[in-house]
Chains A and B, each alone.
Chain A
């Protein structure tokens, strides 16, 4: 009797395994049932927004968007290998990656910001910091909170004579990329000694894994400073600094100030089918622009028939989804602490999406 039970369980598992498999290759099974599944993979930063889109879009159209947040690196690799229908990355493709993926399009789908968080017992006021001061703190040149360079930015704030504990991300991340991109833009010394990247050779400090790791280290270590995504800082009520922008204003991070940064940078953006390597909206011009802001990108091939298993119907569905995401989809951004795309960027994306074809045939 026991054997029968074991065998039964085994068969059940086998069966479950089979159905699980067919879920992974929806082209065959889904298509027959009239259902379309679009697969994407990449950055974890926009995941909450894409998950929201996928939920809303399924209710609206019955098209499934299956997005795996495996990290930008994995997203770029899978897009290069053409195993997913679209990829997502926090940083634009590098020149070399762009060359190795002929026909790839960049579609900035939302905006994020990195905020500088700190834990100074006894200090209630919001600190004011400049890029140069932040760079020097993370370079280990400013080591105490009552350093005159911090004090002169914050008149009236009682800064303690304590050593600054520097906290950074230990895992490779788009957040680090944006933060170091900004520091490279404002501090020649940072650019030369450290540079920008998803992982860095940090001159000093503790490494925490993920936004939650950095936030945990900052919360636990008095007199510490770190950086996390805007959404993370807001939801967890961390103290964060106002940052001096290009126009000399100290700006609070928020959806409006991030959108202002994107609007300020829009004139210098390339077309969707050009290389975006080096595109950055950190330290963007604009009265109210928050300087540590960034786009995050969807990566789509210009001719979708290069992806194995792609059908014209599915290609059309993907293009419709992209169109929806940059228009109606934007209204879901603020509640998740992403900034909606400014009008100019939506226009740019419209041009890009119109370029997408299936076997040379336009889809819109």
Chain B
């Protein structure tokens, strides 16, 4: 192999293999990094008027008044974070339950049917889920879930009325449904990758099935599961259409989950087309920039933690 070298003048002396690697490598670098850099540049240039007009205050002001050109992103950042965390709170236990059931408990036939069905859920367009949210989930939350929560947990400020159905809670449930397929299928792969011996060892030592799963299987796969959760969180943060349709679109710093809220992606989708003032448009683009930054940070944290777990496992 070493003897085969390129005869092209510029690449003389480089083996075709190396050439191929350089070629692929440059495609990867160009497409991903250049795209990301261009995107970031575009966002920063577009947001410049707002960045210079409001500075850091933009992130901490709760005032969003297009009429007076007062723009603060706090209600949207807050709404995005709360609805996404709520989605994780509901979605992660559900997803892990599904993943454990599919890998450890379900008979092969059930598994063969159920796994693709769950993955299919991920293919439902978000606007369809949003419509379902409007016509089914929101009324259900208003008439059944919210009264129940208010009756039993109403002493907490988290569950105070009035309940309209269009709320942060509804958005959280919709998001949970949307991230469950991703988290559960990635976690399932992770659980399948746990060596049989680990689990069998635990069982041989007299552990129950529950103890084997919680004590051995899940900890072994925790790095990959964490990665799966972060993947889901990333989707929840950026989800636009379905959330816009059920969250009530009201930029306030709510305390009750039964109140309407607003997210960053939703306000961009709602107000971008009719934003005629330059400063208004810049403020919306700056929200896009913040969204971009938060997504990046979430992903970097996810990477870092996944790597750390993997290294620990590699060392042990």
Spell out A's residues near B (CB within 8 Å).
70-74, 76-77, 94, 97, 163, 165, 170-174, 194-202, 204-209, 213, 216-217, 220-221
Contacts and interface: CB of A to CB of B under 8 A. Distances in A.
Interface string B269-298: 111111110000100000000000000000
A171 B67 contact: no
Given A194-B67, A198-B66, 12 more contacts: A71-B273, A72-B274, A73-B281, A171-B270, A172-B273, A198-B274, A201-B63, A201-B251, A207-B248, A207-B249, A209-B269, A221-B165
A205 B251 CA distance: 10
B64 A201 contact: yes
Contacts, number: 92
Nearest to A171: B270
Interface of B: 63-68, 134, 138-139, 142, 162, 164-166, 244-245, 248-251, 260, 262, 266, 269-276, 281
Given A74-B273, A171-B274, A172-B274, A206 B63 contact: no
A47 to B, nearest CB: 13
A171 B273 contact: yes
A94 B67 CA distance: 13
Nearest to A198: B274
A220 B165 contact: yes
B67 A172 contact: no
Closest 5 CB pairs of A and B: A172-B274, A207-B249, A71-B273, A170-B249, A201-B65
Contacts of A94: 276
B67 A197 contact: yes
B130 to A, nearest CB: 10
Given A201-B67, A207-B260, A165 B164 contact: yes
25 contacts: A71-B274, A73-B273, A73-B275, A74-B273, A77-B276, A170-B244, A171-B269, A171-B270, A172-B272, A172-B275, A174-B274, A195-B68, A199-B271, A201-B65, A201-B66, A205-B250, A206-B164, A206-B248, A207-B248, A208-B249, A209-B244, A209-B245, A220-B134, A220-B138, A220-B165
Nearest to A199: B66
Nearest to B138: A220
Contacts of B273: 70-71, 73-74, 171-172
Contact of A200 (B66, B139, B142): B66
A114 B156 CA distance: 40
Contacts of B251: 201
A204 to B, nearest CB: 8
